[in-house]
């Protein structure tokens, strides 16, 4: 059970309480560094966690998971780090109480500016996170065990963020690892080869 150190925005709590928490069951995708357990939750201080509770970031589509990884791998630079390998996993997830924001318009109900999502540079990205972190923390406070929200990196896709410290009935399991798609994260984008020259890896490598 999470501790409760915050004074929360009552208007935000009222807005979230008007949203029905629903069960969720399905297949999601997650990209992690090679060898890392994709089911391990963390406090990354990302878009949907303020660093005070453990979450698991996943995407409903393979393309969204790859787009999210690309964004963080490239860190706003034209060339990603070399010699970093990633695995793409399919996970089965079952949650009891998910708050759903099916599109960016739905986020307006919790005073989250949809126009700002995914528009800041990598260095300034935390400027977008304040309100979404408040929304996630308040949702967890109200008993939700996850949020379904639009991906900032892949238009039309949704990300499922699992709150890992709730007392609800949840399950998450590995369905399969796509080790053969290790180039997917950087496919079609420029990278340095061993001789220092630039090369684009074709999308067919995915």
Run means of pLDDT, 10 residues per run, the chain, 206 residues: 66 94 97 93 93 97 91 68 80 98 89 71 69 95 97 92 96 88 47 44 30
Nearest to 99 by CA among 63, 143, 42: 143
Neighbour-count burial of 145, counting CB atoms closer than 10 A to its CB (0-12 exposed, 13-18 middle, 19+ buried): buried
Neighbour-count burial of 78, counting CB atoms closer than 10 A to its CB (0-12 exposed, 13-18 middle, 19+ buried): exposed
Q: Give the Cα separation of 89 and 39 in Å (integer).
A: 10
Per-residue model confidence (pLDDT) at position 148:
98
Per-residue model confidence (pLDDT) at position 159:
97
Per-residue model confidence (pLDDT) at position 1:
46
Structure tokens at 136: 């996630």
- Looking at the domain that runs over 10-189, which CATH code has it been given? 3.90.175
How many residues in total does the chain contain?
A: 206
- Are β-strands 86-100 and 146-150 bridged in parallel, bridged antiparallel, or unpaired? parallel
- Per DSSP, the residues of 132-156 read HHHHHHHHHHTT-SEEEEE-SSSTT
Per-residue model confidence (pLDDT) at position 32:
92
* CA count, 13 A, side-chain hemisphere, 173: 6
Structure tokens at 148: 């379904």
């Amino acid at each position: 059970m999470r501790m409760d150190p915050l004074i929360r925005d009552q208007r935000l709590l009222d807005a979230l309480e008007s949203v029905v928490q629903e069960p969720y069951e399905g297949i999601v995708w997650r990209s992690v560094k090679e060898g890392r357990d994709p089911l391990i939750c963390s406090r990354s201080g990302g878009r949907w966690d303020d660093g005070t509770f453990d979450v698991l970031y996943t995407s409903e589509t393979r393309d969204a998971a790859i787009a999210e990884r690309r964004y963080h791998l490239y860190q706003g630079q034209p060339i990603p780090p070399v010699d970093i390998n990633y695995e793409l996993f399919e996970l089965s997830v079952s949650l009891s109480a998910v708050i759903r924001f099916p599109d960016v318009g739905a986020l307006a109900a919790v005073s989250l500016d949809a126009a700002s999502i995914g528009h800041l540079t990598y260095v300034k990205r935390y400027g977008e996170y304040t309100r979404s972190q408040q929304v996630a923390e308040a949702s967890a406070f109200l008993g939700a065990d996850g949020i379904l929200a639009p991906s900032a990196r892949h238009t039309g896709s949704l990300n499922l963020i699992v709150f890992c410290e709730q007392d609800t009935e949840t399950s998450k399991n590995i369905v399969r690892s796509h080790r053969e798609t290790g180039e997917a994260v950087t496919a079609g984008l420029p990278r340095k080869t061993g001789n220092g020259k630039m090369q684009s890896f074709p999308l067919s490598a995915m």
